[in-house]
Amino acid sequence: MLNKTKFINKIKPKKVKIHGKVVKRLVINPKDTLIGLKGGLKLVKDISVSGGTILLVGNGRKYKYLMESYAREVKQPFMYRRWVHGLLSNDTLLKDHLLRYGSKIDRAPMSDWLRRNKVTDFLIRYEGYLNNLNQPSLVIFLNTSQLSDALDEVNSLNIPSLGLATTSMDRSKLTYPIPSNDQSLKTSALFVELVKEAIKEGVKQRKTVLKHMAKKVNKTNKK
């Protein structure tokens, strides 16, 4: 596991001029961002090599395209809608609801209209997460400063977290913070692309390792 302290950006107030007045403002050091990004992507690759699940979380419809491309390209779960409390901590209830509503076999006495709406509501709320109900090995946050509930739930389960961290938030809540502007869509888009590449590299390496192990087993069986 990587050392968390390597990713914590030591932000110091910097004097800047605004409308002719000198004020102190917190400024992110690009070097610290690059260090955090490099280490974070290595972590993503390592988890991908081990076959772990990496959940991507961002709160807002503006992330829909990023999330869908993430799921399509690397086959990992995502959540871009409002965080559903208990998503990770109460997976037994989630799986029960999936059986009743997600599979559309709920036989409770209700009208077709009500049943259809229940099914639709359930599928919309958990869109992006239903195809992979394993507890994630890592949760990646985009607009981290707006996802305090999700972050608290992840921390309560001791699941490692990686995310974009702005100067206005408590970065210690993230296991691996990357100092940056977590409200910038361009920053998020670039970050997701880099994460996808790291996952793909990990998957490729995993296949090579498994192939090598399979050959060893076959040789042993032939003896």
Return the higher-pLDDT residue of 144 and 22: 144
> pLDDT digits over 169-205, tens only?
888 899 999 999 999 999 999 999 999 999 999 999 9
Domains of the chain as residue ranges with CATH: 4-87+136-222 (3.40.50.10490), 88-125 (no CATH)
Using the predicted structure, report yes or no on whether residue 123 has a pLDDT greater than 60: yes
Under DSSP, is residue 177 helix (H, G, I), strand (E, B) or coil? strand
Using the predicted structure, report yes or no on whether residue 143 has a pLDDT greater than 80: yes
The set of residues, in sequence order, having a beta carbon less than 8 Å from that of 159 and lying 6+ positions away, is 88, 135, 136, 137, 138, 139
Q: Which of 98-102, 180-184, 216-220 is modeled with the greatest confidence?
A: 180-184
For the chain, helix (H) and strand (E) counts, in that order, are 6, 7
Residue 103 per-residue DSSP state: T
d(CA 103, CA 85): 22
pTM of the model: 0.77
Going by pLDDT thresholds of 50, 70 and 90, the confidence category of residue 128 is: confident
57 vs 114, 136, 143, 161, 175, CA distance in Å?
Answer: 30, 12, 8, 11, 15
Task: Using only the alpha carbons of the chain, give its radius of gyration.
Answer: 21
Using the predicted structure, report yes or no on whether residue 88 has a pLDDT greater than 60: yes
Return the higher-pLDDT residue of 96 and 137: 137
Residue whose entry in the numeric block shows the structure tokens 């037994």 = 92
